[in-house]
């Protein structure tokens, strides 16, 4: 019965999301529904999990934007050797920040979820990305044919 309830919630969220929100919001809502279904969180777990998850998503997005901004400053052929070295050092620093962020995130999750559910979360995120990629490929190939 709980699985049926979860499935109905996901279908409802999916339908309402596709009808109203911009693409990023649609994807975020679908991701939340997918993770919720895959993790089968208790009410208490969900109350503790989602703030940690959302804070990490926000921090990852900021770091990703920072990394992208640094990479887009100049094209490689426009850089001096010293500028290129400085850029590489910045990118290494940003990668360290990424690893530290991931480590903090996993440690924070361990305070609110059992390790098995964290592994299930990582698998759910991968499966969601795979589904989104497959959907993109499917839509892209349909558009080519038309």
Residue with tokens 């279908």: 11
Does a structural domain hold residue 62? yes
- Domain around 54: 42-145
Residue with tokens 């698998």: 123
Does a structural domain hold residue 117? yes
For CA atoms 34, 39, 42, 48, the dihedral sign is: negative
| Predicted confidence (pLDDT) per residue in 119-129, tens digit | 999 999 999 99
What are the tokens at 28?
A: 């975020």
Does a structural domain hold residue 33? no
| Predicted confidence (pLDDT) per residue in 14-34, tens digit | 544 444 445 888 899 999 999
| Predicted confidence (pLDDT) per residue in 71-118, tens digit | 777 788 888 999 999 989 998 999 999 999 999 999 999 999 999 999
Does a structural domain hold residue 31? no
Does a structural domain hold residue 24? no
Which of 13 and 38 is assigned the larger pLDDT? 38
Does a structural domain hold residue 37? no
Under a CB-based contact definition with an 8 Å cutoff, are residues 127 and 37 in contact? no
Does a structural domain hold residue 1? no
The CA distance from 104 to 106, in Å, is 6
DSSP class per residue in 48-105: HHHHHHHHHHHHHHHHHHHHHHHHHSS-GGGS-HHHHHHHHHHHHHHHHHHHHHHHHH
Does a structural domain hold residue 25? no
Q: Please count the structural domains in the chain.
A: 1
């Amino acid at each position: 019965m709980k699985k049926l309830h979860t499935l109905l919630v996901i279908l409802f969220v999916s339908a309402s999301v596709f009808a109203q929100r911009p693409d990023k919001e649609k994807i975020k809502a679908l991701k939340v529904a997918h993770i919720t279904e895959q993790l089968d969180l208790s009410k208490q777990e969900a109350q503790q999990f989602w703030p940690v998850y959302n804070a990490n998503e926000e921090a990852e997005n900021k770091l990703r934007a920072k990394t992208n901004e640094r990479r887009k400053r100049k094209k490689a052929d426009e850089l001096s050797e010293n500028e290129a070295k400085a850029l590489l050092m910045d990118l290494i620093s940003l990668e360290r920040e990424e690893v530290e962020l991931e480590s903090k995130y996993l440690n924070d999750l361990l305070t609110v979820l059992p390790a098995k559910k964290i592994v299930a979360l990582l698998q759910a995120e991968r499966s969601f990305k795979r589904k989104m990629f497959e959907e993109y490929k499917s839509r892209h190939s349909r558009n080519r044919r038309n």
